[in-house]
Amino acid sequence: METVADVKAHCEWLIAHGRAGEAAKLFMPRVENQRRRANREGYHRFTIEVGNMYGDFHAMKDRLITLCFNNPPLAYAILLQLIAAVPDDIIVGMAQADQDASKQERP
């Protein structure tokens, strides 16, 4: 992981190459972890196991947030509405098809 000095050097390079006006944020893992644990914002977090779908899951989450004007609470509310709009029989059918495909892959 880069140090603060490395990030400073990178920022100086960006400024020297005309990119001083770009949006940026310094991410310091230890500070962010402390802030998350303190949870002054009162956020409720949950963890889900996505396995090898991690990249796809986050790409879709980021897509949804972007489409919702970079407003995560709005995006998550819409995600719940989208899930609620899908009938149970469609979800069961998709799960069954996935299970059947998995069984066919295994001899």
Do 31 and 58 fall within a single domain? Answer: no
pTM above 0.75, yes or no: no
Q: Report d(CA 33, CA 41) in Å as an integer.
A: 14
Return the pLDDT at 37: 86
Do 30 and 5 fall within a single domain? Answer: yes
Do 106 and 59 fall within a single domain? Answer: yes
Do 28 and 77 fall within a single domain? Answer: no
* Out of 36-50, 52-66, 79-93, least confident range: 36-50
Do 56 and 101 fall within a single domain? Answer: yes
Do 71 and 89 fall within a single domain? Answer: yes
Host domain of residue 5: 1-45
Query: Quick one: average pLDDT of 71-82?
Result: 95
Do 50 and 68 fall within a single domain? Answer: yes
Do 50 and 94 fall within a single domain? Answer: yes
Return the pLDDT at 27: 84
Return the pLDDT at 44: 84
Do 63 and 31 fall within a single domain? Answer: no
- Both tokens of 76, joined, read 């998550």
* More reliable by pLDDT, 51 or 69: 69
Query: Quick one: average pLDDT of 45-71?
Result: 91
Return the pLDDT at 65: 95
Ramachandran bin of 87, using left for φ above 0, alpha for ψ from -120 to 50, beta for the remaining angles: beta
Closest CA to 61 of 74, 52, 51: 74
Do 19 and 51 fall within a single domain? Answer: no
End-to-end CA distance of the chain: 44
